[in-house]
Amino acid sequence: MTSTAGDGSGADGGEDRDTGDGLRRRAARFPVRAGPGRAIKPGRHGLSPETVAGIQRERLIDAFVHVVSERGFAHTTISAVTEGAGVTKKTFYAHFPDLDECFLAAYQRGMAILLRRMTEAYEAAPSWPDGIHAGLRTLLAALAREPRFARASLVEVNAAGPQVRQARIDDLTRFRSFFTDPSLASVPIPVVDAIVGGIHSAIHVQMETGEAEELPSLLPSLTYFALLPLVGREAASPYLTGDPG
């Protein structure tokens, strides 16, 4: 990563960085992933203040995820985030009071997208076991495609403040909804939480010891782990061998 922490100003920056020209110029110095529709075009862009503010907020979130995944949350600074987003510290504080709030916004945005995609895959499956398999496949593939978000949300979240850690707990409880299918007997919540916690732990270990791109290789084992206590070995084993039928 070429970005370095600064004071949020400089000969090429100042308040000009929050204009269309400034955002484009500063963004080129930091490899934040953003599609062509995300950048404010130079010149008289004709965008409303609300639209500009929305784009700046998204760029701050993207830059935060990039910086925290590279440096770790303990070494992430507002200067580094604003440098990456191509905006000033003043703009950062217009959106977030501190880094924890920025982390919370990044975490909640990413998890909302992830849970929505998992739910869509789960609900489209023909049976509950197939739904669990499809949801986990979607989860692992999404994290593998977005390794920076994976590291931020699975590893660096442990260093965040209480609001972010509580958001993680809240999201883990939302996974209970995947275990309420009518085909299942009533499953005690502690059992569901243990299954969800085990899956979360396995993914966390992979992120700490391996590469995010290898996460999809966990699919057979995690599907088997989730199904075994609820449908038994005979029904769960095909997902472990890769032949669910």
Residue-wise pLDDT tens digits, 21-61: 444 444 443 444 443 333 344 445 567 888 888 899 999 99
CATH number, domain of 195, equals 1.10.357
In a domain, 55, yes or no: yes
In a domain, 43, yes or no: yes
Residue 9 reports pLDDT greater than 80: no
Tell me the pLDDT tens digit for each residue of 85-98: 999 999 999 999 99
Residues 139 and 231 in one domain: yes
Domain end call among 46, 80, 96: 96
Q: Across the chain, what does the average pLDDT equal?
A: 84
Question: Tell me, what's the pLDDT at 11?
Answer: 35
Residues 153 and 39 in one domain: no
Residue 1 reports pLDDT greater than 70: no
State the Cα–Cα distance between residues 170 and 165, nearest whole angstrom: 9
Domain end call among 40, 64, 96: 96
Compute the average pLDDT of residues 169-183.
93
In a domain, 1, yes or no: no
Q: Which residue has the tokens 């955002």?
A: 23
Residues 104 and 210 in one domain: yes
State the Cα–Cα distance between residues 91 and 1, nearest whole angstrom: 23
Total structural domains within the chain: 2
Residues 89 and 113 in one domain: no
Higher-scoring residue by pLDDT: 181, 35: 181
Residues 89 and 121 in one domain: no
Residue 19 reports pLDDT greater than 70: no
Higher-scoring residue by pLDDT: 10, 169: 169
In a domain, 56, yes or no: yes
In a domain, 3, yes or no: no
Residues 90 and 124 in one domain: no
**Highest mean pLDDT of the ranges 13-22, 42-51, 161-170:** 161-170
Residues 112 and 198 in one domain: yes
Residues 137 and 207 in one domain: yes
Q: Could you write out the three-class secondary structure of the chain?
A: CCCCCCCCCCCCCHHHHHCHHHHHHHHCCCCCCCCHHHCCCCCCCCCCHHHHHHHHHHHHHHHHHHHHHHHCHHHCCHHHHHHHHCCCHHHHHHHCCCHHHHHHHHHHHHHHHHHHHHHHHHHHCCCHHHHHHHHHHHHHHHHHHCHHHHHHHHCHHHHCCHHHHHHHHHHHHHHHHHHCCCCCCCCCHHHHHHHHHHHHHHHHHHHHHCCHHHHHHHHHHHHHHHHHHHHCHHHHHHHHHCCCC
Question: Tell me, what's the pLDDT at 172?
Answer: 93
Residues 57 and 107 in one domain: no
Question: Tell me, what's the pLDDT at 51?
Answer: 84
Q: Do 107 and 87 contact (CB within 8 A), yes or no? A: no
Question: Tell me, what's the pLDDT at 185?
Answer: 87
Residue 177 reports pLDDT greater than 50: yes
Compute the average pLDDT of residues 212-240.
96
Give the pair of three-digit tokens for residue 159.
Answer: 């260093």
Q: Do 32 and 62 contact (CB within 8 A), yes or no? A: yes
Residue among 105, 108, 15 at smallest CA distance from 60: 105
In a domain, 8, yes or no: no
Give the pair of three-digit tokens for residue 239.
Answer: 């997902």
Range of the domain at 114: 100-241
Lowest mean pLDDT among 21-30, 181-190, 231-240: 21-30
In a domain, 131, yes or no: yes
In a domain, 62, yes or no: yes
Residues 229 and 115 in one domain: yes
Question: Tell me, what's the pLDDT at 20?
Answer: 43
pLDDT band at 245 (very low <50, low <70, confident <90, very high): low
Categorise residue 127: left if φ over 0, alpha if ψ from -120 to 50, beta otherwise: beta
Domain end call among 80, 96, 112: 96
Residue 211 reports pLDDT greater than 60: yes
CATH number, domain of 67, equals 1.10.10.60
Tell me the pLDDT tens digit for each residue of 111-153: 999 999 999 999 999 999 999 999 999 999 999 999 999 999 9
